[in-house]
């Protein structure tokens, strides 16, 4: 007999793992209701509730610049005060208040807009246990308000260097699973390719490093991504297999139509779309073109790739491919330079 419980699908993959494609596909189903703040486009819709709730739960009086995804060192799980200062300046220059407390921002931006009927008048006096109960009550209400099938995407859950986000999500799951049906989707992609994509997109380069010290920035992104995959490995140990769906990115770009069917069958939701039109420009093994990425083959990211079943290419082939990509990049750069001279 099919369950009559409220249902929620949560996409918790790392940044740049290809999860936006999955989000786009799922949004084509008229059954899903995306949990997001009002007037947010689907490609930008992230479920900020869990990450902000985790900080509200643990460090409510700290300023928003104490961001466990940005300014906490993923190697030590300790806030880097230099990064905190840089990020606070970035927020102030971006017309945000870098000195605002976490509890104030969470309640005003991620709680009240989605849960206007819940009483939060005395939140600033709550104990840690009371804050968790408010979070749980809000979480249940969010899911109920987004039926027949609630959906949320949040990469920050795995990138939280403190581990508080994944701890909170696990606790919410255990405390509410009898009355809510959960499906967690992890979009698996070669960690080395994800690494390249993240660095090339310059995630947090300006807000944490002021666009300086590229070497340290690359190490920071590597450590954060390593932590994200490690946190997923621990998460899947406590989540029943029936509640977890690992979707393989490389299979999607190789055969999108087939994988779209896999997705719809696993989630039991209809999606009408020609998937071939979405992923034709995507490629795998991008790490071969970047020396700073190929050297990580022998490091933790390479080991994680092998652990997830990826076969890493032979060094001689890597050198050949890197040279090929370098030639292509040089040609593109010459064309851009020539065009600028003409203009």
Task: Please report, for the domain that includes residue 189, its CATH number.
Answer: 3.40.50.300
Average model confidence (pLDDT) across the chain: 86
d(C-alpha 6, C-alpha 195), whole Å: 36
Inside any domain, residue 308: no
For the record, the structure tokens of 121 come out as 């008048």
pLDDT of the residue at 314 = 55
Q: With a cut of 60, say whether residue 2 has pLDDT above it.
A: yes
d(C-alpha 291, C-alpha 295), whole Å: 6
Closest CA to 243 of 186, 184, 188: 184
Residue ranges of E strands in the chain: 7-11, 32-34, 72-73, 78-79, 149-153, 181-188, 244-248
Q: pLDDT band at 94, cuts 50/70/90?
A: confident
pLDDT of the residue at 339 = 43
What are the tens digits of pLDDT across the range 49-82? 999 999 999 999 999 999 999 999 999 999 999 9
* HSE-CB of 146 using CA atoms within 13 angstroms: 25
Inside any domain, residue 340: no
Least confident stretch, 29-38, 85-94, 319-328: 319-328
Average pLDDT over residues 253-280: 73
pTM of the model: 0.86
pLDDT of the residue at 1 = 44
* HSE-CB of 131 using CA atoms within 13 angstroms: 23
Inside any domain, residue 294: no
> β-strands 7-11, 181-188: how paired?
parallel
Least confident stretch, 31-35, 123-127, 197-201, 238-242: 31-35
Q: With a cut of 80, say whether residue 97 has pLDDT above it.
A: yes
Inside any domain, residue 321: no
User: Higher-confidence residue: 177 or 342?
Assistant: 177
pLDDT of the residue at 65 = 96
In angstroms, how far is the first alpha carbon of the chain from the final one? 68
Least confident stretch, 28-42, 124-138, 251-265, 268-282: 268-282
For the record, the structure tokens of 237 come out as 């140990």
Closest CA to 165 of 157, 176, 175, 154: 157
d(C-alpha 218, C-alpha 213), whole Å: 9
pLDDT of the residue at 306 = 94
Q: With a cut of 60, say whether residue 239 has pLDDT above it.
A: yes
Inside any domain, residue 301: no
What are the tens digits of pLDDT across the range 122-175? 888 999 999 999 999 999 999 999 998 898 888 899 999 999 999 999 999 999
d(C-alpha 238, C-alpha 341), whole Å: 59
User: Higher-confidence residue: 241 or 39?
Assistant: 241
Number of domains in the chain: 1
Average pLDDT over residues 28-42: 72
Q: With a cut of 70, say whether residue 343 has pLDDT above it.
A: no
Inside any domain, residue 295: no
Q: With a cut of 60, say whether residue 193 has pLDDT above it.
A: yes
Instruction: State which residues form the domain around 259.
Output: 7-281
Inside any domain, residue 305: no
Inside any domain, residue 343: no
> β-strands 32-34, 149-153: how paired?
parallel
């Amino acid at each position: 007999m099919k369950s009559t419980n409220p249902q929620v699908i949560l996409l918790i993959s790392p940044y740049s793992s290809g999860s936006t494609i999955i989000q786009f596909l799922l949004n084509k189903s008229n059954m899903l209701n995306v949990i997001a703040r009002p007037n947010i486009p689907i490609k930008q819709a992230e479920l900020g509730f869990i990450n902000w709730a985790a900080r509200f739960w643990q460090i409510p009086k700290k300023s928003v610049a104490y961001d466990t995804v940005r300014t906490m060192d993923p190697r030590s799980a300790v806030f880097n005060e230099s990064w905190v200062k840089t990020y606070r300046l970035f927020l102030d220059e971006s017309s945000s208040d870098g000195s605002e407390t976490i509890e104030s921002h969470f309640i005003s931006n991620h709680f009240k807009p989605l849960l206007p009927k819940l009483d939060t008048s005395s939140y600033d006096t709550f104990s840690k246990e009371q804050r968790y109960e408010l979070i749980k009550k809000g979480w249940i209400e969010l899911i109920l308000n987004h039926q027949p099938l609630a959906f949320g995407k949040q990469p920050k859950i795995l990138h939280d260097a403190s581990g508080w986000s994944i701890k909170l999500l696990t606790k919410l799951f255990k405390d509410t699973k009898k009355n809510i049906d959960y499906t967690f989707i992890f979009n698996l992609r070669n960690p080395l390719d994800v690494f390249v994509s993240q660095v090339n997109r310059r995630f947090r380069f300006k807000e944490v490093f002021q666009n300086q010290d590229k070497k340290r920035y690359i190490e920071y992104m590597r450590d954060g991504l390593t932590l994200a995959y490690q946190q997923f490995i621990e998460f899947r140990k406590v989540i029943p297999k029936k509640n977890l769906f690992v979707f393989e990115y490389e299979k999607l770009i190789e055969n999108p139509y087939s994988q779209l069917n896999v997705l719809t069958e696993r989630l039991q939701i209809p999606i009408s779309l020609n998937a071939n039109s979405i992923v034709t420009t995507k490629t795998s093994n991008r790490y071969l073109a970047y020396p700073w990425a190929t050297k990580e083959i022998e490091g933790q990211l390479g080991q994680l790739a092998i652990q997830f079943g990826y076969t890493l290419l032979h060094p001689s082939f890597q050198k050949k491919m890197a040279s090929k990509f370098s030639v292509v990049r040089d040609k593109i750069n010459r064309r851009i330079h020539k065009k600028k001279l003409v203009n």
